[in-house]
Amino acid sequence: MENFPIINLEKLNGAERVATMEKINDACENWGFFELVNHGIPHEVMDTVEKLTKGHYKKCMEQRFKELVAKKGLEGVEVEVTDMDWESTFFLRHLPSSNISQLPDLDDVYREVMRDFAKRLEKLAEELLDLLCENLGLEKSYLKNTFYGSKGPNFGTKVSNYPPCPKPDLIKGLRAHTDAGGIILLFQDDKVSGLQLLKDGRWIDVPPMRHSIVVNLGDQLEVITNGKYKSVMHRVIAQKDGTRMSLASFYNPGNDALIYPAPALVDKEAEEHNKQVYPKFMFDDYMKLYANLKFQAKEPRFEAMKAMESDPIAIA
């Protein structure tokens, strides 16, 4: 099996820029995932985020999770559980408006650290979108502008912990799915593994690396690139030992952003396909559909959006 793509962003500034851009393009076309090192977010910032996130879980979340497991009778489960995930989560919204000050349980230091971390991730996400534009032959801010809608993009962080699981063969940490949105930046535990992606019919481990940021592409980028880049099924395997920390930050289109294949990419493929392959829709409509179909294949979601195209309200 070929090696999981690891991209050193520092190499964009020198003689290896062309080769690095090719690696990013290959990762987007053939993996839907890649891992960033030297991405510009200071290691000490990431260490502080990790320390405070793990401390918050221990203090505020761990006991609640144990009580939930006991309530659902999952300690001695004997058959596969297909309707829940073995994870403890909360969600921070950053854009278009932040909810960090409203969330209970977070102390002031953690709030401030997460605000700072989110700003750094937002900047990195927008830099990556511009790199994708360059590889795709689109004008520099095409993806960022497409995501903007009338109020700017949606950006938020799902903070997850995956506690030790007594029956990891029967309960997934997180069931297989593709991500609905745009570009996802993940700061994951470097000691406890579990994240896997589906490639060529096989589940491949996403290697835990200290101070790296894992990037994956969501359904919206598959639509905008008319399938040149693809979102990929991924899952989290629960582990018997250790609690895995995961901070997944989703840089998504605004609710009223209109999503459709970039005309330049459709033109280039016209000879092959002779038509626009992917649908045109408002992001919010896609999210409403996704809410009930997250753990199913993405293709029927695209077909449902295509069926809505004849409805002028859906694409106005």
For the chain, list the domains and their CATH numbers: 4-308 (2.60.120.330)
Predicted local distance difference test score (pLDDT) of residue 275: 64
pLDDT at 267 exceeding the cut of 80: no
Cα–Cα distance measured from residue 100 to residue 170, given in angstroms and rounded to the nearest whole number: 35
Which residues, other chains included, contact 53 with Cβ-Cβ below 8 Å and sequence gap of 6+?
A: 110, 159, 161, 245, 247
Q: How far apart are the first and last CA of the chain?
A: 45
Cα–Cα distance measured from residue 49 to residue 67, given in angstroms and rounded to the nearest whole number: 26
Q: What are 10-32's pLDDT values in tens digits?
A: 999 999 999 999 999 999 999 99
> With contact defined as beta carbons under 8 Å apart, do 129 and 183 qualify?
yes
Predicted local distance difference test score (pLDDT) of residue 315: 44
pTM (whole model) above 0.85 = yes
Residue type, 291: A
Mean pLDDT of 218-222: 98
Predicted local distance difference test score (pLDDT) of residue 114: 98
pLDDT at 244 exceeding the cut of 50: yes
- 3-class SS of residue 213: strand
The torsion region of residue 32 among left (phi > 0), alpha (psi -120 to 50) and beta comes to left
More confident residue, 178 or 76: 178
Mean pLDDT of 300-310: 88
